[in-house]
Structure 1
Amino acid sequence: MTKIIPFKAVRPAPAYAGLVASRSYEDYSEAELRAQLEFNPYSFLHIINPGYKFQHEIGGEKRFGMVKNRYLEFKEEKTFIQDEQACYYIYNIKTREASCCGIIAATSVEDYEKDVIRRHEDTIAHREELFKEYLKVVGFNTEPVLLTYPDDAIINELLEERMKSRPEYEFATYNKEIHSLWLIDDPDNISKIKAQFAAMDKLYIADGHHRSASSWLLAKESKANNPHHTGKEAYNYFMSYLISESNLRIFEFSRLIKDLNSHTKEEFLIKLDEWFRIENRGSEIYKPSKKHHFNMYLDGEFYSLYLRKTNYEFTDSLSELDSYILFEKILKPILGIKDLRNDKRIAYIHGRNDLIELKTRIDSGEFRVGFGMMPAGIEEIKQIADENLTMPPKSTYIEPKLRSGLTIYEF
């Protein structure tokens, strides 16, 4: 049984929605970020980069307090308003390739604690703690955790019917996406949605493992410090974007390595031969089309690597995962990459960017060798979560990516 509830979102007044909404802070180049901050006074980037107002770089807890101040200014200036009634929010993103629709709601921290909300990635303790402190100071959540559930005919019908009406927001972005948002404030529809999710025995985190973990830490601390805790407080929930499994788009990450770990090219290929059947594809750009097939780019040539299954033992769902196989049989033992998060010799390109970028960065001399694979499927991700296993870092790049600042959850 899963518990999601409506909430009173703080969100842009309709006239400002398209100007407020921003991509993830890390997604902007330095020039783009500077242009947004210079020419768009309504951008949500002003809140998360509060030092710009003073032309000063600010870090640590001092920055957290200034983030809250910028946020309060947006509310005081009526750029942000708060709904008087608790709602669910339908958020639809239409790109050139696809359309994705889901529900923004408040999700139970207790469900996370009890593994009703299941995870497939490890989190880093100091990042959890840092973001928990950030949440405690600012008092709001702006980026929903992406959760997925099996397609549900009743929920789909409710969303489709509501989306026939005019949206509260609708705006286009520079990358030719159209973002739309509707409110679900009808009590009957709220009850139906709540009941449909209550009938589900689990949800899965697609993206946002650190955000959900930090919200759980904050809830534990807040509960311990509140002698009148009832379980109904806002800190018992975190904001999520719930989408059906058919709406998820899962891409892979390619790996780029700076050197061959002191091996010559010939030595490296011989070591690979133990675990993979190798074919030189020359200048032909090769992309795998099956599980356990990999592509490699080295010295101006593409190679296909096919796992020798007679040598390799599949023991659980993690051992079947291509990113795990790549780590266990090439990156760690041959190339000496043991820490996928922090080793400076490795970098990643998500599958949204094609192999031309991988080729270009290797040809430039920045990296020596690159590897690619098929993206993981949703059933693989769920099976790994159900077995309480964790995928290697950068195993999946998952869309949709929501704009920040359109719905804010206060606690």
Structure 2
Amino acid sequence: MPRVKAFRAVRPAPANAQKVASVPYDVVNREEAAELAAGNAESFLHVVRPDIDLPADTNPYADEIYAKAAENLQRFLSDGVLQQDDSESIFLYRQIMNGKSQVGVVCCCHVDDYENNLILKHEFTRPAKEDDRTRHVMTLNAHAGPVFLTYRDDQGLNQLVDDAISSDPLYDFTAADGVQHTVWKIDAPSDYVAALTGVPAFYVADGHHRAASAWRAGKARREQNPDHTGDEEYNWFLTVLFPASQLNILAYNRIIKDLNGQSVDEIRSRLAEVGTLEPTDNPVPQNSGSFCVYLDGSWSLLRVPDESIDQGDAIACLDVAILEQRVITPIFGIDDVRTDPRIDFVGGIRGTKELEARVDSGDWACAVSMYPTSIQQLMAVSDAGEVMPPKSTWFEPKLRSGLITHLLD
């Protein structure tokens, strides 16, 4: 069973929570982050995107980036923007988006449980990004953003959470994007720890690079400590655990740079060999095994025959795998979607109008609107020890950074 524990959180005062809280580092580029943090010296973007405080041409992996992140975190601590709790606790974190609620338990998980696959993964990490996040953790001596985990629902734990969120919260605000963020502090966490310790496995929903970097930072700190006992705080990393039934996965759509030397009619002809292809006014597929393709200013619906999909194979039945194996590689000539610059990925939160705009601009030739991967499919892949194709899931809403931080000492 995976382990969890309470911790001494670093966090803002309630009156300052909305001002400090920021989007995660990896959902905005430098320009977007700078715009969001403009005029707000207390935005946690100064910690997770410290490049906004340096010249725009600074190498994103330069020493100055990590030094500035640590400097900004220390400034927040010395100025009282953030303070560390005197005692260990856990937290409940509720997000409400478009009327749908999800409530997670904020606690620490053990790095060994990540290594030993008690915390299951479903995607590969990229070395450069993993190196970056590991260095960020080590330089700050802190986990600045939580790893988004899920688990199969436990009714006892659900009841504990339901009872607790009827009380007054610690934080409660609605962000500019309309998502409501509410946090409760649990000073007597033993019942939650016991309930979570009884869960057979946790699953990484979002944050594979943060999880891998926490594990690597923990190993590095062990190697640096000749008196390592296993009880040190660096053996644990910051997580938020949500019950699977509450999670919202959006599509992760695809755009393709060119038609691989073919005409529009030739592409459509080849798509019609994959399944049924017909014009549509609805750019959002309604079922698994269906894809909406935007080409030459109009949408078409591609349906793959149900009997051709192996539902017994956790990977082969995924829409992202079907598209890759039957369309992306054979028709567009893209062999490795991880590295080929001729394909890119657009989170479903941006909508299909974004796909149309990208293609209509002339910068891209084709877009594919996907049906979302389900949480059941994600867990089946993880249980099988398999890895999903890249960019298979887009979770919303995103967890805010800066509300709760975990120090390694």
> What TM-score results when the alignment is normalised by the length of structure 1?
0.93
Report the secondary structure of 2:253's partner residue.
Answer: strand
Q: Which residue of 2 aligns with 1:266?
A: 265
How far the C-alpha of 1:140 sits from its partner, in A, is: 0.5
Q: Which residue of 2 aligns with 1:5?
A: 5
Q: Report if aligned partners of 1:275, 1:312 keep a CA contact under 8 Å in 2.
A: no
Deviates more, 1:53-62 or 1:317-326: 53-62
Q: Report if aligned partners of 2:146, 2:240 keep a CA contact under 8 Å in 1.
A: yes
Is 1:339–2:345 an aligned residue pair? no
Report the secondary structure of 2:349's partner residue.
Answer: coil
> Quick one: structure 1 residues 98 and 314, their matched pair in 2 at CA, closer, same or farther if it must change by over 3 Å?
closer
Deviates more, 1:55-64 or 1:37-46: 55-64
Deviates more, 1:5-14 or 1:361-370: 361-370
Is 1:353–2:355 an aligned residue pair? no
Deviates more, 1:17-26 or 1:64-73: 17-26
Q: Which amino acid aligns with 2:260?
A: N
What is the correspondence of 1:305-384 to structure 2 with a 5 Å cutoff?
305-309=302-306, 316-384=313-381
Q: Which residue of 2 aligns with 1:135?
A: 137
> What TM-score results when the alignment is normalised by the length of structure 2?
0.93
Q: Which residue of 1 aligns with 2:215?
A: 216
- CA distance in 2: counterparts of 1:57 and 1:70, whole angstroms: 20
- CA distance in 2: counterparts of 1:338 and 1:353, whole angstroms: 26
> Quick one: structure 1 residues 88 and 243, their matched pair in 2 at CA, closer, same or farther if it must change by over 3 Å?
same
Is 1:403–2:400 an aligned residue pair? yes
> Quick one: structure 1 residues 20 and 331, their matched pair in 2 at CA, closer, same or farther if it must change by over 3 Å?
same
Q: Which residue of 1 aligns with 2:163?
A: 161
- CA distance in 2: counterparts of 1:29 and 1:314, whole angstroms: 38
Q: Report if aligned partners of 1:248, 1:400 keep a CA contact under 8 Å in 2.
A: no
Q: Which residue of 2 aligns with 1:228?
A: 227
How far the C-alpha of 1:322 sits from its partner, in A, is: 0.5
Runs of 4+ in 1 over 3 A off after TM superposition: 25-38, 48-59, 308-315
Aligned residues with identical type, % of pairs: 33
How far the C-alpha of 1:311 sits from its partner, in A, is: 5.3
- CA distance in 2: counterparts of 1:256 and 1:398, whole angstroms: 19
For structure 1, which runs of at least 5 residues remain unmatched after alignment?
none
How far the C-alpha of 1:391 sits from its partner, in A, is: 0.8
Cα deviation digits, residues 306-345 of structure 1 (max 9, x gap):
1135556566210000001101111112112223233222
Is 1:45–2:45 an aligned residue pair? yes
Q: Which residue of 1 aligns with 2:151?
A: 149
RMSD, aligned CA? 2.0
- CA distance in 2: counterparts of 1:36 and 1:50, whole angstroms: 13
- CA distance in 2: counterparts of 1:30 and 1:61, whole angstroms: 17
- CA distance in 2: counterparts of 1:13 and 1:180, whole angstroms: 14
Q: Which amino acid aligns with 1:257?
A: I
How far the C-alpha of 1:260 sits from its partner, in A, is: 0.7
Q: Report if aligned partners of 2:24, 2:145 keep a CA contact under 8 Å in 1.
A: no
Is 1:18–2:18 an aligned residue pair? yes
Q: Which residue of 2 aligns with 1:99?
A: 101
- CA distance in 1: counterparts of 2:54 and 2:358, whole angstroms: 37
How far the C-alpha of 1:399 sits from its partner, in A, is: 2.3
- CA distance in 2: counterparts of 1:139 and 1:182, whole angstroms: 25
Q: Which amino acid aligns with 1:379?
A: Q
> Quick one: structure 1 residues 24 and 51, their matched pair in 2 at CA, closer, same or farther if it must change by over 3 Å?
closer
How far the C-alpha of 1:26 sits from its partner, in A, is: 4.8
How far the C-alpha of 1:33 sits from its partner, in A, is: 3.8
Report the secondary structure of 2:71's partner residue.
Answer: helix
- CA distance in 2: counterparts of 1:27 and 1:382, whole angstroms: 24
Q: Which amino acid aligns with 1:171?
A: F
